[in-house]
Amino acid sequence: MGTGAFSYKDKKVISIGVVKELTGLSERQIRYYEERKLIFPDRTSGGSRKYSFSDVELLVEIAEKIEDGVQTYEIRQEIKRKKADSEKNIRRKMIQGQINAHFGLKNNQ
């Protein structure tokens, strides 16, 4: 799966009405999760919120956790941890790629 397949999930193109239909959440719930800094929709020039497929998946996950009694603060910390772990993995892969390229060039000489 190339980067093109990954990036479409992160494009903020979905209106709050469609998000409501996809998730079963109310507009009030979705806005509350935004207020609690759990989700970060883009805004159009007219002020409408736009969400990505990744946001929709995250909203479903958040709603399930809240239903299980998890506090929004705990969810926010978990989201931050996952993001930090993901960034560490990307950095690790980039460094490994640089090391491989560096030593690959040396071995060819």
Q: Look up the CATH number of the domain holding residue 47.
A: 1.10.1660.10
Number of folded domains in the chain? Answer: 1
Asked if pLDDT for residue 5 goes beyond 70, the answer is no
Q: Residue range 34-48: average pLDDT?
A: 95
Beta bridge pairs of residue 42? 50
**Average pLDDT of the residues in 24-30:** 97
Q: How confident is the model at residue 103 (pLDDT cuts 50, 70, 90)?
A: confident
Listed residue (41, 39, 43, 52) closest to 10, CA to CA: 52
Asked if residue 71 belongs to a domain, the reply is yes
Domain that holds residue 50: 7-108
The verdict on residue 82 lying in a domain is yes
Residue with tokens 């109310």: 26
Find the radius of gyration of the CA atoms of the chain: 19
Residue among 62, 32, 73, 61 nearest 49 (CA): 32
Q: Does residue 17 form part of some domain?
A: yes
pTM of the model: 0.73
Please report whether residue 2 resides in a domain. Answer: no
pLDDT score at 102: 83
